[in-house]
DNA sequence: CGCTTTCGCTACGGGTCGTAGCGTAACTGT
DNA sequence: ACAGTTACGCTACGACCCGTAGCGAAAGCG
């Protein structure tokens, strides 16, 4: 979320926090109207009502700016206790899908990931500000399921971390792939089917025909 | 794979098939060296040894060109019979990961998906030439597992198609997300863990500690 | 009230875009 | 063999955006 200022100096004129918010909002608006490739920093600066040079003082370039602008979208993800692991998974899947339905998330997220293929610093920035922000939901839901007795406890913290990572990539990856690559809708039915496979496995899900409507 | 020529005319000078191959190869080379954003059509034309105008005669723009260039990468995916559903899944996951390890696939695929957020035609092109090309592997592996008795047959073709789509998005999405978003390695251990969750579900995989090494 | 940093503004060279125009090359049908 | 048709290579063009530099003014701190 932080622009890239290493340390806020104690002296001199402070940076306008309002400008930061305006710039990030303008970036999202530009993503909606123009998409990734046509988005220009000149345009963002105009929309935000700041000078173009101010933008370059805070962000190294388009990639970093968009990552920060998109990362904020995932702040609205929550995980209310819906009573069961299955219900929790279905809920978060639909929430996540709603975010990915917004054009600023689609083009911004994928554009940033594309650029990260050749930029180690950007890749780490994505991992820190987007991936970690979402992964907390898995940790939370998992702990809750363990309290309910729906999932076993894992003693070794390394094994536990690996499980969390796996579940996260499975769920988030499936939703992203379905919505953005396969271009098919993530609706309630699909969320139910996904959850069944996740909890029971492929064969188990086929026996229980709840996903077939 | 086809450029965009609606119908090959019977008269006049035919288009050079060699030029097509050279252009697509040059596109991949440019993706490796420059990435998505710095790739220019002028550069691709120079690498391929053709005039820039030739490029614009065959493809509408960068997006379409890259989709075609990247789609060819997935032709090398195969599904040899490894004896069990689990082994088949693990094998294809590692194959898929090997492709996604190549920089031309990383930046090209994600860049195209990013642009597809605001381009219906491009989205359909991705679906047709990349998604469908991969989905055949799921259909094949599934049929094989049904013959082995590892998976139940589904009579309703609509239900069956939905299952295939779900499994495809789960596996492909998980691999893509792990490799490109989470930026963590897709190795044999992870492939085993993924397969276990897919076949047995989360709880079932935790009981069988094969993925913990 | 000096010191420091940010901000808005203007201007600049450099690069890419996508297209137009022309002469030439390649292939087809009569 | 010849006319018809299409693809190709080449050059040139205006338009746009990039990222930076330089300036005076504004906003905090001691």
Question: CATH no. for residue A83?
Answer: 1.10.357.10
Are B181 and B85 in a shared domain?
yes
Are B50 and B29 in a shared domain?
yes
* CATH code, domain with B50: 1.10.10.60
**What band does B11 get if pLDDT is binned at 50, 70 and 90?**
confident
Which domain covers residue A54, as residue numbers? Answer: 17-58
DSSP per residue, A117-176: TT-HHHHHHHIIIIIHHHHHHHHHHHHHHHHHTSS----SHHHHHHHHHHHHHHHHHHHH
| A113 at B interface, C-beta within 8 A | yes
Q: Residue A28's Cα: distance from chain center in Å? A: 14
Are B26 and B59 in a shared domain?
yes
Give strand letter and number of the nucleotide nearest B61 (CA to C1'): C18
Instruction: Report the alpha-carbon distance of residue A84 to residue A145 in Å, rounded.
Output: 7
Is A65 part of any domain?
Answer: no
Residue A41, classified by CB atoms within 10 Å of its CB into exposed (0-12), middle (13-18) or buried (19+), is: middle
**What band does A205 get if pLDDT is binned at 50, 70 and 90?**
confident
Q: Residue B178's Cα: distance from chain center in Å? A: 15
**What band does A28 get if pLDDT is binned at 50, 70 and 90?**
very high
Is any atom of nucleic acid chain C found less than 7 Å from the CB of residue A49? yes
Q: In this structure, which long-range contacts are made by residues A140-149, counting pairs with CB atoms below 8 Å and at least 24 apart in sequence?
A: A140/A79, A141/A79, A141/A85, A141/A88, A141/A89, A141/A92, A142/A167, A144/A81, A144/A85, A144/A88, A145/A85, A145/A88, A148/A84, A148/A85
- Residue A53 CA and nucleotide D16 C1' are separated, in Å, by 19
pLDDT given for residue A2 in this prediction: 46
Is A11 part of any domain?
Answer: no
* B57-78 confidence digits (pLDDT tens): 999 999 999 999 999 999 999 9
**What band does B15 get if pLDDT is binned at 50, 70 and 90?**
confident
What whole-number percentage of chain A has pLDDT above 70?
Answer: 92
Are A39 and A92 in a shared domain?
no
Is A5 part of any domain?
Answer: no
* B132-191 confidence digits (pLDDT tens): 999 999 999 999 999 999 999 999 999 999 999 999 999 999 999 999 999 999 999 999
Q: Which tokens in the block code for residue B62? A: 């960068």
Residues, CB < 7 Å to strand D: A 10-14, 40-43, 52-53, 56, 61-62; B 5, 9, 11-16, 19, 49-54, 57-58
Q: Mark yes or no for CB contact B114/A118 under 8 Å.
A: no
Task: Point out the domain boundary residue: B69, B89, B113.
Answer: B69
Is B119 part of any domain?
Answer: yes
Q: Mark yes or no for CB contact B170/A167 under 8 Å.
A: no
pLDDT given for residue B67 in this prediction: 96
Checking if the pLDDT of A212 tops 50, the result is no
Lowest pLDDT segment from A143-147, B10-14, B97-101? B10-14
Mutate to test the interface with A, among B114, B115, B126 (most CBs of A within 10 A): B114
Instruction: Kindly report the nearest CA distance between residue A184 and chain B, in angstroms.
Output: 10
Q: Mark yes or no for CB contact A166/B103 under 8 Å.
A: no
**Count of structural domains within chain B:** 2
Q: Mark yes or no for CB contact B114/A110 under 8 Å.
A: yes
Are B167 and B137 in a shared domain?
yes
Checking if the pLDDT of A210 tops 90, the result is no
Instruction: Report the alpha-carbon distance of residue A152 to residue A146 in Å, rounded.
Output: 6
Are A34 and A96 in a shared domain?
no
Tell me which residue in A126, A151, A177 faces B176 most closely, judged by beta carbons.
A177
Q: Mark yes or no for CB contact A110/B106 under 8 Å.
A: no
Are A46 and A120 in a shared domain?
no
Are B118 and B205 in a shared domain?
yes
Are B140 and B75 in a shared domain?
yes
Are B93 and B172 in a shared domain?
yes
pLDDT given for residue B3 in this prediction: 52
Give strand letter and number of the nucleotide nearest B56 (CA to C1'): C18
| B151 at A interface, C-beta within 8 A | yes
Are B179 and B104 in a shared domain?
yes
Q: Mean pLDDT score of chain B, rounded to an integer?
A: 92
**What band does B12 get if pLDDT is binned at 50, 70 and 90?**
confident
Instruction: Kindly report the nearest CA distance between residue B21 and chain A, in angstroms.
Output: 24
Is B164 part of any domain?
Answer: yes
**What band does B7 get if pLDDT is binned at 50, 70 and 90?**
low
Give strand letter and number of the nucleotide nearest B52 (CA to C1'): D9
Is A150 part of any domain?
Answer: yes
Instruction: Report the alpha-carbon distance of residue A4 to residue A94 in Å, rounded.
Output: 33
Task: Point out the domain boundary residue: B69, B85, B100.
Answer: B69
Tell me which residue in A35, A165, A178 faces B182 most closely, judged by beta carbons.
A165
Are B51 and B113 in a shared domain?
no
Tell me which residue in A115, A131, A183 faces B181 most closely, judged by beta carbons.
A131
* A133-174 confidence digits (pLDDT tens): 999 999 999 999 999 999 999 999 999 999 999 999 999 999
Q: Mark yes or no for CB contact A116/B183 under 8 Å.
A: yes
**What band does B213 get if pLDDT is binned at 50, 70 and 90?**
very low
Tell me which residue in A35, A173, A202 faces B177 most closely, judged by beta carbons.
A173
Residue A185 near residue B166 (C-beta atoms within 8 A): no
Q: Which tokens in the block code for residue B11? A: 């008269």
Q: Quick one: which H or E segment has residue A63?
A: helix A62-71
**Which residue from B minimizes the CA distance to A33?**
B118
Give strand letter and number of the nucleotide nearest A46 (CA to C1'): C8
Is any atom of nucleic acid chain C found less than 7 Å from the CB of residue A37? no
**What band does A55 get if pLDDT is binned at 50, 70 and 90?**
very high
Is A10 part of any domain?
Answer: no
Give me the total of CB pairs closer than 8 Å, taking one residue from chain A and one from chain B: 206
Checking if the pLDDT of A4 tops 80, the result is no
| B29 at A interface, C-beta within 8 A | no
Is B8 part of any domain?
Answer: no
Instruction: Report the alpha-carbon distance of residue B187 to residue B211 in Å, rounded.
Output: 12
Please, where are the H alpha helices in B49-156?
52-58, 62-71, 85-100, 103-116, 120-126, 132-148
């Amino acid at each position: 979320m932080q622009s890239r200022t290493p340390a806020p100096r104690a002296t001199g004129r402070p940076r306008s926090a309002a400008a930061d918010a305006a710039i990030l909002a303008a970036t999202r608006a530009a993503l909606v109207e123009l998409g990734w490739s046509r988005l220009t920093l000149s345009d963002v600066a105009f929309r935000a009502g700041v000078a173009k040079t101010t933008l370059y003082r805070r962000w190294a370039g388009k990639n970093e700016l968009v990552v920060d602008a998109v990362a904020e979208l995932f702040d609205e993800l929550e995980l209310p206790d819906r009573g069961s692991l299955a219900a929790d998974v279905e809920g978060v899947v639909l929430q996540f899908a709603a975010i990915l339905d917004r054009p600023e998330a689609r083009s911004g997220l994928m554009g940033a990931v594309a650029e990260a293929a050749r930029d180690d610093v950007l890749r780490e920035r994505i991992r820190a500000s987007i991936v970690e922000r979402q992964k907390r939901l898995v940790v939370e839901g998992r702990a809750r399921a363990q309290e309910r007795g729906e999932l076993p406890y894992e003693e070794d913290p390394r094994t536990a971390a690996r499980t969390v990572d796996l579940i996260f990539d499975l769920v988030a990856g499936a939703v992203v792939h379905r919505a953005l690559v396969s271009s098919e809708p993530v609706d309630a039915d699909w969320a139910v089917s996904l959850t069944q496979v996740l909890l029971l496995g492929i064969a188990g899900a086929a026996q229980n025909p709840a996903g077939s409507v």
